[in-house]
Structure 1
């Protein structure tokens, strides 16, 4: 599924989701289905886990706010000294001054205080007008992002929908099996024509990684002229090779949602096929583009790592940074070239699924530039015609290293780590979490050293 025009798509992505921001020490009130506080031993510790994106809690003070349709929902945690003497009524008067509608108001004795008898910790959830929120000096806006793979069910904002039988308001869940599709005779004929023409170019135009995997797909997943592979079979193949899996999509997703999926090694894939009147070109992503362009490269470990790196960089990034990452995605995963054995080969899915542009991209007509994320991220691109400029990577390892270096410069109030065992994102907002990560890395290094000793 292609990431659409960055400038246009970034605005759609931002407007399609709740606006959420977190301050240092952010915490949210844990609630049950009815909205009442959950019965937990430590509300503050559990709240910190549920916060959208946080830094370490300082003295119990924090703020989360969500903005939608002119109203802002505030979730605050704070400690009030001598609260018992001041009285709870005076504390509530502060919220009444701002015409706040209080949804939840809870207190308990302060745990970290010299005078715990009179000091209280507060958890308050209220709703106020946006004009009052703007009076407060809040930290930079941090968009919501998925932290568990099941959160991708919330990432379904479409730029355009092409499949009439799939309802984008009720997306297919990752927990549901990939549906099998019965393609018509005409659709199979379109696939056959595309497959034959592209397959004749691959030996001279595609990179080695693509060719190696393509042979395996023909053996294991039914890649052949007269049969369109099923996503279920292809997804199983990818999962075993690189941990990537396919998720059915109804059309072109917003850049933010699409890139977020890559962070969890999930690829949003369409299942319909392009119109038979134009077999060599499709203005929208279709299964020819997905299965012939993207899938073979996603089965390569180095390329899979590169793809996930772009996804991880997008989590919590601003709209401006999403626009740049969409451009990076476009010029690499979609239309990227690389050097191999003194020649330039294609690895981008947009090229490997387009007979005309694949020939054009490797000709002397367009300009070829070295891949540099800083320059590539701000370079304009065409989504209606062939690109005048293509970026050439030395190899995937070099491209991944450059991308990761670029991602470190994206300003965020937190650092993230992907846990492959739980398929979740961990916010590294405490020294202990960083120590735990270092401990895991040390164990892995020990195993590697032990393996080297056995080999030698």
Structure 2
């Protein structure tokens, strides 16, 4: 590995350093906070000022489209001082969260922020937040049967039974994280806001999904241009419970490790048109699987209307397609299946990624290993051989030859 290559985490605990948020629309967060970045506009590009992993102030150029979701926040929300203070309180919880801690629970107690014999404070959702969640939940739930892919509908039903999803209850991240861990190995980590693309994608490599806990402003409940817990819990979580889709998400993350800024921009765009706004074929119909669609009543209906253009998902073309970050999309990409999207992405990475080494994730140690020598390939091959031996033994027993 070249010392000049971009840094990336090697162990899941190093995601504590992957929490830089886009702070252009976070006026109440401390601009000197080590996890904040600020913008100096230069046409369609921005200089991001932040603090690097060694604690030194840094300034790097970031293209607009390398941000997974550009924040053009609803003006009423950020003109509301009470809402801004609320966002700051919840952001502080995410900023202090460290690997290995329990996720802060959001409870219905009287005090707004308290501790309950734990090192992490619990936060109370107020009536306005629960009302906003409930309004969105009920409208989307009615639409999912006809517009959402079957996996999303089925898993959401399970989440209602096992994690307390309901129109009058915002589920706990800790409960949802344990549910995902059992299903696909993904876990949730609290995030203070919109992360830089590099930090967010790096988390996916470890099957960690960085999740906001605040609720969008009640003035515009059915659409939010930035992520909130409605987007995360209703849009993303059900699909992350599908093994094939979880693998696809992790492979985007693994491909991003050590990638150039230009490659990160393309991976972020691919993520946008798949994980956020993707459509798929299902029983000769087109259904939504993207979280941006499944958490926005208006855009979900728009995506399956006659207005937008639908194109077959091809990573090379999708990676350079301009996208809308404020209005509804003009173009959506349709995958034949989650497996189809994963297979095509693998071929794209194989032919287009410029780094001179491969990486793999070791789930036993929660570590990423770099395959950049023959010795490391031998060690990796030994692990594969053990897995193949197990599979061959199982096949033999099923066929009656053992």
Query: TM range, normalised to the smaller chain?
Result: 0.7 to 0.9
Match of 1:300 in 2: 242
Distance 2:132 2:14 in 1: 36
Q: Out of 99, 104, 127, which is 1:179 matched to?
A: 104
Deviations 1:63-97 (CA, angstroms, capped at 9, x unpaired): x4xxxxxxxxxxxxxxxxxxxxxxxxxxxxxxxxx
Q: Does 1:258 align with 2:203?
A: no
Match of 2:267 in 1: 325
Match of 1:385 in 2: 327
Distance 1:441 1:180 in 2: 39
Distance 1:320 1:451 in 2: 44
Q: Out of 442, 447, 450, which is 2:385 matched to?
A: 442
Match of 2:363 in 1: 420
Where do 1:19-418 residues align within 5 Å? 53=1, 64=3, 141-160=4-23, 161=26, 163-165=87-89, 166-167=91-92, 170-181=95-106, 182-408=124-350, 409-418=352-361
Task: Give the 3-state SS of the residue equivalent to 2:194 in structure 1.
Answer: strand
Distance 1:417 1:280 in 2: 39
Task: Give the 3-state SS of the residue equivalent to 1:164 in structure 2.
Answer: helix
Deviation of 1:371 (Å): 0.4
Task: Give the 3-state SS of the residue equivalent to 1:412 in structure 2.
Answer: coil
Contact 1:334–1:351, Cα closer than 8 Å, also in 2 = yes
TM-score, normalised via structure 2 length: 0.77
Match of 1:86 in 2: none
Task: Give the 3-state SS of the residue equivalent to 1:253 in structure 2.
Answer: coil
Task: Give the 3-state SS of the residue equivalent to 1:350 in structure 2.
Answer: helix
Contact 1:145–1:260, Cα closer than 8 Å, also in 2 = yes
Please say which of residues 181-190 and 239-248 is displaced more in the overlay.
181-190
Contact 1:314–1:322, Cα closer than 8 Å, also in 2 = yes
Match of 2:64 in 1: none
Distance 2:94 2:279 in 1: 36
Contact 2:94–2:190, Cα closer than 8 Å, also in 1 = no
Distance 1:448 1:202 in 2: 38
Distance 2:195 2:96 in 1: 12
Deviation of 1:413 (Å): 2.5
Distance 1:168 1:404, change over 3 A: farther
Deviation of 1:175 (Å): 1.9
Distance 2:183 2:315 in 1: 27
Task: Give the 3-state SS of the residue equivalent to 1:425 in structure 2.
Answer: strand
RMSD of equivalent CA atoms: 1.4
Distance 1:453 1:362 in 2: 47
Distance 2:346 2:98 in 1: 30
Deviations 1:209-236 (CA, angstroms, capped at 9, x unpaired): 1112111101100011110001011001
Q: Does 1:452 align with 2:395?
A: yes
Number of aligned pairs?
Answer: 319
Contact 1:156–1:171, Cα closer than 8 Å, also in 2 = no
Contact 1:245–1:265, Cα closer than 8 Å, also in 2 = yes
Deviations 1:315-339 (CA, angstroms, capped at 9, x unpaired): 0000000000010000000000000
Distance 1:174 1:300 in 2: 24
Runs of 5+ consecutive residues of structure 2 not aligned to the other structure? 27-83, 107-123
Deviation of 1:455 (Å): 2.1
